[in-house]
Structure 1
Amino acid sequence: MSKYILWFKEISSKDVPLVGGKNASLGEMIKELSEKGIQIPDGFALTTKAYWYYLKENKVDKKLKEIFVKFDPKSLQSLKETGKAARKAILQAKFPKDLEKEILASYYELSQKYNQKNTDVAVRTSGVAEDQPTMSFAGQFETYLNIKGKEDLLNAIKKCIASTFSDRAIAYREEKKVPHLKFGLSVGIQKMVRSDLASAGVIFTLDTETGFPDVILINSSYGLGEILVKGRVTPDEFYVHKPTLRQGFKSIILKNLGRKDKKYVYSKTGGLKEVNVLSAQQLKFSLTDEEILILAKWSCLIEKHYKIPQDIEWAKDGKTGLLFIVQSRPETVHAPKDTKFYEEYKIKTAKKPILTGTAIGNKIGQGKVRIIPNISQISKFQKGEVLVTKMTDPDWVAAFPLASAIVTEEGGRTCHAAIVSRELGIPAVVGVKGATKILKNGQLVTVDCVSGGR
């Protein structure tokens, strides 16, 4: 019996304290939903016991206490210094021999199952306070894809542990009042799905903006799903009507073609690389109607099992043509709401908008434009400004609470900027073509998320 590792098939939703929300959900679905036809790639989890063992054996737990004594949460400079020192302490540590042996034995067993010497895996963090109904921790920790072999696997796990103290994860925990040194981490190692040869995406089992429960929203793009979550493309968007789907109808009610000009594929040296999508392929939907309906039916089954709206990640294997669910967690914005009252915002103008995109949330924001081309210039951003950029990723999170609104040129309803701004209650418009060229620094603008979805 392993001391520090559990296979997904050994895990259930009761094991959140041991393996975090993400891994507990994978184990629960493999146990309870595989028999209903839902396909989930196999894998195993390093438990929080492994995390604390790694820290204590290397005396990193004591170093972290010393580092956080000096932390000033109101200072961006202190955030950077604290994060850097914490990550350095973790990365310089070594795996205890017995833990390393367990990890590699499990990895080789997983490889054998898929008839490979060193199989390709995804290495993902699964936090103990993560994926809870009021917190998404969307993108706060690192994920490493297309990892093969002993050295790369151990390095990826170590980097996942270090990402507990990324600047963005520290900032998010401060915002959500989660104690830094009591926050445990599990690491999941899961067989990869070859979606670099097909498509992948995200599903919400309700309308992300209104919370309307009778639809399923599916976002899809070519290649690995990371590109969609990071907001680097504007994905295809499909809506399916749940009540008529349950009655046996092919109830796809909306199909919007996205701007899928880039995709992530496997790099020959490991990891991923970004490539352009052929023009002819960009003009086609990345899922067939049949595949949309299969994913919608699976999503209904997952939601029914958990009895709460879900945020689901899926992938299609380009080698086999099979669909897989790779993650499912509670939806964090509408599900926890106490709906005893209804909020409505109105905009008092008849002017036509200068730019349009996909509205996130149902609020109105106003302020002076601040165009931030990349993360290195984020320190220029001031409280109350409207953040305008090509796209955001999790490194931008520290600036989000300062923004009166957010505008990005790329991304859809399920990208990182959309999930976090929705959760923080900040109006955002994503997929706004030409925003960084047409808007000017200092320009006073109103960001309207109430006058329509687009």
Structure 2
Amino acid sequence: MKDYVLRLNTISVSDTEEVGVKNAFLGEMFTHPELKAISVPNGFAITASAYKRFIEYNKLDGVHDKLIATLDRNNLGSVYKIGLKARSLILGARMPGDIDDAIIAAYRDLCSDSVIEVAVRSSEISFEKAHQASTDLYETFLNIKSERELIETVKKCFASLFSDLALIEKASKHQAMAVCVQRMIGSEKSCSGVAYTSDPETGFADVIHISGIWGLHEKKLQKSVVHDEFIIYKPAISTGIKSIIQKKLGSKNYMIVHQIDHEIHTVNTPVEKREQFILSDQEVILIANWGIILENYYNGPVSMEWAKDGKSEILYLLQAKPEIFKKLQ
């Protein structure tokens, strides 16, 4: 019998078909000694087998295929109608008891002695489709706190396999969905962002580009916020010579926070924070060094998502994957 839940510290890229791309590359950082210097929030994967068992248990086998067969991808009305119906079938279905128990047991183990908030992210099964997509097709949910809320949120991730964008991109055809559950990093009280080990615009390989904002780094809203940017010259990092060759202070007029209604909101950034860089030079170099470790490991450029916890002030990588997947195929 397939496992419905796997701890991140037990998986690797070889498990991609079961745990999805996001979980697989997180697992690499837990399970391979070369990457253990990188700080990653602990968590677990809900597998593709769990999704398939959920579909079978609720007798939805073939139902979605019939819906998709009537879809006209060139008609937004058809996409909206079919997508809504496909998602509603999943959201209205019941989680099988064995999967429910496995998820709750993993969540309690993650909580240890106190209830914690978690981030719940859809994990695409196909690496190829994950890289072909021009935007995020599937859902992410933050600050989930309680066992029942977690179960319902996992169903929402399952349902996002049939998001309108996924239907248009044909990404939901003959697939399953995995889910990533990680301890929530409180970046809404600090900062977060992304990093690339080559220039994201030109592909120039000798620089690392880091950017970020105060608060959460929510991709759907990030374009409305002008980020701080840092450019690091890679060959200088190991020499002790000043390696941060450019720092650009973004206006950061808004910051993205997660409020009690579990929705993402933009709020005005306090004036004193607008005039501060989100990271110290030491923190910039730490993220850059993580990028170099990963780039050497995967033998190619890497993209990363990072966050700083507002209470502990510790930096973490939330996601990291090679832009060209060639080392571990």
Q: CA RMSD in A?
A: 2.0
Show structure 1 runs of 5+ residues with no match. Answer: 337-454
Q: 2 CA distance for matches of 1:306 and 1:220?
A: 24
How many correspondences in the alignment? 325
Q: Percent identity?
A: 37
Give the aligned partner of residue 40 of structure 1: 40
CA distance in 2, matches of 1:97, 1:119: 23
- How far apart are 1:80 and its partner, in Å? 1.3
CA shift for structure 1 position 249: 2.7
Task: Tell me how far apart the structure 2 counterparts of residues 35 and 167 of structure 1 sit (CA, whole Å).
Answer: 36
Aligned 8 A contact 2:35 2:294 in 1: no
| Aligned counterparts, 1:192-203, within 5 A | 192-203=184-195
SS of 1:264's equivalent in the other structure is strand
Cα shift readout 1:228-264 (whole Å, capped 9, x = no counterpart) = 8642311111100111113333300111111211222
Contact 1:198 1:318 (C-alpha < 8 Å) held by counterparts? yes
Pair 1:171 & 2:163 matched? no
Please give the alpha-carbon distance, in whole angstroms, between the structure 2 residues aligned to 1:34 and 1:279: 41
Separation of aligned partners in 2, 1:276 and 1:214? 36
* 1:61-113 CA-partner distances (Å, limit 9, x unpaired): 3210211121122222221111111111111111011110111111011001x
SS at match of 2:283: helix
What amino acid is aligned across from residue 43 of structure 1 in structure 2?
G
Q: Residue 45 of structure 1 contacts residue 186 of structure 1 at CA under 8 Å; is this kept in 2?
A: yes
**Contact 1:83-1:165 within 8 A present in 2 as well:** yes
Are the aligned partners of 1:200 and 1:222 in contact in 2 as well (CA < 8 Å)? yes
Structure 1 residues 176-191: aligned runs within 5 Å: 178=171, 180-191=172-183
Residue number in structure 2 paired with 1:127 = 124
> What do residues 301-327 of structure 1 show as CA deviations (whole Å, max 9, x unaligned)?
011111221110000111111110010
- Residue in 1 aligned with 2:135? 138
Taking the aligned partners of 1:228 and 1:167, their CA distance within structure 2 comes to 15
Structure 2 CA distance for aligned equivalents of residues 102 and 2 of structure 1: 12
- Matching residue of 1:286: 278
Relative contact order: is structure 1 or structure 2 higher (C-alpha 8 Å, sep ≥ 6)?
2
Distance 1:228 1:246 in 2: 36
| Aligned pairs (5 A) from 1:254-333 | 254-268=246-260, 270=262, 272-331=264-323
Partner of 1:421: none
Distance 1:97 1:228 in 2: 34
Q: Counterpart in 2 of 1:76?
A: 76
The one-letter amino acid of 2:300's match is I
Give 5+ residue unaligned stretches, structure 2.
none
- Cα distance, 1:181 vs. partner? 3.3
* Native 8 Å contact 2:30 2:36 kept in 1: no
Q: Larger C-alpha radius of gyration, 1 or 2?
A: 1
- Which whole-Å CA distance do the structure 2 matches of 1:314 and 1:49 have between them? 29
Contact 2:124/2:130 (<8 A) preserved: no
What's the counterpart of residue 150 of structure 2?
153
User: How many Å separate the matches in 1 of 2:37 and 2:105?
Assistant: 29
- Tell me the TM-score normalized by structure 1: 0.68
Structure-to-structure mapping, 1:26-425, within 5 angstroms: 26-32=26-32, 36-112=36-112, 115-116=113-114, 118-130=115-127, 134-136=131-133, 138-173=135-170, 178=171, 180-226=172-218, 230-268=222-260, 270=262, 272-331=264-323, 335=324
Tell me, in whole angstroms, the C-alpha distance in 2 between the residues paired with 1:285 and 1:46. 37
